[in-house]
């Protein structure tokens, strides 16, 4: 009986050893062949990596809609343009830019002096050399053009005279330029305030 139990115990011991080896071997193979755990990298909404460039309309350039440099405005047509901009008005004495004339490739500006005071208005014309740089037009591109001739330089250069009460007189200047049609330009007339945003239209 002791021998029988000893044999039985020996068989049980061998089977237990095989079970342990099988369990250990099975666990190893399972871990080796199993899929790796999911990558913990954050999703796109929280990723620190730069996203791929998008094809949004704002990132693309359409050659058909690209902005071309604007062309210069065409020169104003020959003719007379009414301006009627007050250059100076104080103590019943006034100067008005009445009109502009486009004559060929030149611009003529016409000014009216009016004396509504009770005394004469003394006026002085500079000498011709000074007179030609005493008035100018400045175009929108900052081009400055001085008068090539004027009423003073051709009529009363270097003279002083008076405008009687209740009377008016016209003066003019001719510039070798024609502003663009409807384009703004500034006018400086002797030492009077600058007339801004003058347009031929």
Instruction: Give the side-chain half-sphere CA count within 13 A for 55.
Output: 0
> Is residue 127 within 8 Å of residue 157, measured between CB atoms?
yes
C-beta separation of 177 from 107 below 8 A: yes
- Written as tens digits, the pLDDT of the chain (201 aa) is 444 444 444 444 444 444 443 443 433 333 333 333 333 333 333 333 444 444 544 444 454 544 454 567 799 999 999 999 999 999 999 999 999 999 999 999 999 999 999 999 999 999 999 999 999 999 999 999 999 999 999 999 999 999 999 999 999 999 999 999 999 999 999 999 999 999 999
Question: So what's the pLDDT on residue 1?
Answer: 41
pLDDT of 73: 78
């Amino acid at each position: 009986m002791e021998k029988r139990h000893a044999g039985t115990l020996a068989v049980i011991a061998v089977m237990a050893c095989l079970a342990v080896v099988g369990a250990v071997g099975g666990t190893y193979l399972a871990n080796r062949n199993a899929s790796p755990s999911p990558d913990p990298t954050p999703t796109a909404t929280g990723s620190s990596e730069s996203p791929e460039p998008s094809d949004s309309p704002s990132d693309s350039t359409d050659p058909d809609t690209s902005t071309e440099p604007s062309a210069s405005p065409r020169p104003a047509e020959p003719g007379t343009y009414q301006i009627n901009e007050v250059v100076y008005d104080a103590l019943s004495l006034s100067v008005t830019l009445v009109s502009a004339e486009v004559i060929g490739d030149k611009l003529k500006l016409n000014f009216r002096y009016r004396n509504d005071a009770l005394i004469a208005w003394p006026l002085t014309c500079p000498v011709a050399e000074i007179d030609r740089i005493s008035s100018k037009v400045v175009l929108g591109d900052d081009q400055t053009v001085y008068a090539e001739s004027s009423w003073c330089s051709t009529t009363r250069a270097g003279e002083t005279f008076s405008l009687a009460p209740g009377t008016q007189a016209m003066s003019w200047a001719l510039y070798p330029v024609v502003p663009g049609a409807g384009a703004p330009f500034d006018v400086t007339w002797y030492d009077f305030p600058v007339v801004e945003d003058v347009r031929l239209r």
